[in-house]
Amino acid sequence: MSTSEAATKLELARLEAKEKENDHNKRMELRQLEISEEEAAHKRAMEGKEKEMEERGKERKHALEMEKARAQQNIPTNPSNPSPGTASNPRKFPTDKADDDSEVFLENFERACLGYSISTDQYMVELRPQLSGSLAEVAAEMPKEHMNSYELFKTQARVRLGLTPEHSRRQFRALRWKPDVSFTRHAYHIVKHWDAWISGASVKSPEDYPSKCKWSSS
């Protein structure tokens, strides 16, 4: 092999190596960009969760203030003794249907109650006529002395539907943002699974996390 041929082969090898290096660098840059986008999406989702929780707090506070104002004005809140105009403007609630997502149904029901400023001790009174299937069975099986405990109903309903704290924990830890999912919807699922996990584990404060929450990724 002549010197010129050897030099040519060396140059080709150098160019090929350089091309591979450039290709590798491009792939690394794209991967880094994807990671940055995922981190940014997660940050936005968490910010959305915090905002959602803040809004819920405001809604609950407003509902309590309205309830207090009605009590001071001696306005009845019991559906069996409605205020004037209720008969002509009946309340409308979501109805539990066989193919519906039960968690979404209950979330929409709670929002409707907040919109009508219904106190939590009246939730079950309004909820029972809307139930069917498994949820209706759960309500019927509740002890009569606790038949109006909405929180007890939700706990037993989650158990019946297999929506245990462990299930919610796994759903929360498995969440990953996808390009075809809006940030709003991704944030909704984060809040949904987080709330179900934490409330199901009976967490009342951050100090309860280590003892009541399993944080491993399994």
The per-residue pLDDT for range 64-108, each reduced to its tens digit, is 887 777 666 654 455 544 444 455 567 889 999 877 788 889 989
137: in domain: yes
Supply the pTM of this predicted model: 0.45
69: in domain: yes
Token duo for residue 179: 């390009």
32: in domain: no
> Mean pLDDT lowest for which of 4-8, 58-62, 118-122?
4-8
Question: Do 194 and 215 contact (CB within 8 A), yes or no?
Answer: no
- The number of domains in the chain is 1
Measured from the Cβ of residue 46, the count of other Cβ atoms closer than 10 Å reads: 14
The per-residue pLDDT for range 142-200, each reduced to its tens digit, is 999 999 999 999 888 888 877 766 766 776 777 787 788 787 866 866 776 667 666 65
Which residue, among 209, 107, 205, 121, has the nearest Cα to 158 in the 3D structure? 107
Predicted confidence at residue 189, as pLDDT, reads 65
146: in domain: yes
